[in-house]
Amino acid sequence: MTYKVFIDGRHGTTGLKIDERLAAREEIEILSIPEDQRKDPAVKARYINEADVVFLCLPDAASRESVALLEAGNTRTRFLDASTAHRTHPDWVYGLPELNAGQRERIRHSQRVAVPGCHASGFIMLVAPLVARGLIPAELALTTYSITGYSGGGKEMIASYEEPASLPQSMLSPRFYALGLSHKHLPEMQHITGLAHKPLFTPIVGNFAQGMVVAVPLQVGSLPRAVTPAELHAAYAEHYSGEHFVKLMPADPTSVLDAGFLPATTCNDTNRAEIFVFGHAEQILLAARFDNLGKGASGAAIQCMNIMLGLDEARGLAA
């Protein structure tokens, strides 16, 4: 069977990666609007309603406009939205199959799936299983930070790093950003984990194209009861048992570090996410490493598409 796929926003970073990943799949037919008709809403509406799957790789407002082009009674066309527009919307299913035991089936049967944000993916994979098991109370005020490659900033940021013959000194080091503490991923980070408070989130962009590590530090003394790294590791082992794309690293992760370092680029060009637990009796550091363009964007979108179409979930994706 052939499935018709329309990528709305095909020329953006995520759209290009989705297009690239689907190009070799014989069961997928990519619908492409002629260049001179791309801005015609009537033409876009026709393509959306002809497609089996529509990927929305657009700014939030444009994503909402595209969804509104679905014809009344069209229950066949299914949306996967990579913007932040619908990630906390009650009519959309959050596209993280590994979130809980029922999430994969919700994705399978939904017409509208919101693809998680990259930073949010790491935070939620780390925090949601622990909140669900009562190991972290929902009332706890958490801090999280992440380091990401510049590709997560889209075409403008990519150009700022790749087009100059040489970079200014200020861009050679990692740089904190979103210092207004209102990053666009915060609503889903709080909503999907069930936290009572938005985490204090400080993202960092580095002078490398892709790859990401999201980290959550815990002061054991601030928890209602003391937990150990081994206890949290066991909780992850239970939660992610049998998962193809989420890999729990050894309880003693020193053997899989790079001379004691945790590089952000190890999972690049895969849909794999690696979960780490570091620490001792007083302090614990949770970390998730993955490709911000893979499990953090296009890979996650295609994983959800595979589920929605009843295909092998791993089809076209490397673990």
Question: Which active-site residues does the annotation give?
Answer: 118
CA atoms of 218 and 206, how far apart (whole Å): 24
3-class DSSP assignment, residue 128: helix
Please name which of 193, 47, 68, 171 lies closest in space to residue 121, comparing C-alpha atoms: 193
* Amino acid sitting at position 240: Y
Sheet holding 3-8, edge to edge: 28-31, 3-8, 53-56, 78-81, 112-114, 93-94
3-class DSSP assignment, residue 166: coil
CA atoms of 115 and 107, how far apart (whole Å): 11
**Distance between alpha carbon 40 and the CA centroid of its chain, in Å?**
30
Residue 20: C-alpha distances to residues 2, 163, 190 (Å): 18, 22, 32
Helix (H) or strand (E) holding 290: strand 283-290
CB-based contact 36:84 (threshold 8 Å): no
Q: Write the CB contacts of 65 (distance below 8 Å, at least 6 apart in sequence).
A: none
CA atoms of 157 and 44, how far apart (whole Å): 28
CA atoms of 25 and 23, how far apart (whole Å): 6
Cα-Cα-Cα-Cα dihedral sign, residues 21, 23, 24, 28: positive
Largest pairwise CA distance in the chain: 63
